[in-house]
């Protein structure tokens, strides 16, 4: 019996195992989601918390997942292009792939009443590997609400 997996499976697996094995020597940063789905949903990067200055990061991958029936499903994934230098960014807008990054999963429409998880990996300008993850919810009027300590507020199916 021959098994075949989509190319994205290997990319996401690589990201997961890279995170797992390098967690002891990696730097972590805070991702702060904000905005409204009727305008822009933005993700800003901070060194430790929102009282710090934003941090500039050479973004290598971004994955946005939506929680559906207690399972996280990818709704947008961007990944560093081969043989390119990652863009140095302090933030990223949903659905806008910066220069040097390819969309491996095109952005799906984000929905009110749903919970999302954003994961970003990259390199700080100091050369250290860095990771960030945040959970947020979209209220009934489309406003981003950061989920306190990763707790899902409620969700629509």
**Domain boundary assignment for the chain:** 7-150
Q: What is the pLDDT of residues 76-98, one digit of tens each?
A: 999 988 887 777 899 999 999 99
DSSP, res 25: G
pTM of the model: 0.76
pLDDT on residue 82: 82
**What would the CATH number be for the domain defined by 7-150?**
2.60.40
Give how far Cα 109 sits from Cα of 68, 94, 106, Å. Answer: 14, 10, 10
Contact (CB, 8 A) for 78 and 61 = yes
Which parts of the chain sit beneath pLDDT 70? 1-25, 49-51, 148-157
């Amino acid at each position: 019996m021959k098994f075949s997996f989509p190319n994205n499976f290997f990319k996401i697996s690589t990201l997961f195992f890279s995170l797992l094995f390098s967690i002891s020597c990696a730097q972590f940063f805070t991702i702060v989601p904000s905005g409204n789905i009727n305008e822009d949903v933005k993700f800003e990067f901070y060194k430790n918390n929102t009282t710090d200055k934003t941090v500039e990061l050479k973004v290598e991958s971004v994955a946005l997942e939506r929680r559906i029936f207690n399972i996280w499903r990818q709704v947008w994934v961007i990944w560093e292009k081969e043989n390119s230098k990652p863009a140095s960014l302090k933030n990223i807008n949903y659905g806008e792939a910066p220069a040097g990054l390819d969309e491996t999963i095109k952005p799906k429409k984000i929905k009110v009443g749903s919970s999302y998880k954003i994961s970003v990996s990259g390199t700080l300008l100091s050369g250290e590997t860095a990771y960030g993850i945040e959970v947020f919810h979209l209220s009934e009027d489309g406003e981003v609400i950061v989920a306190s300590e990763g707790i899902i507020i409620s969700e629509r199916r």
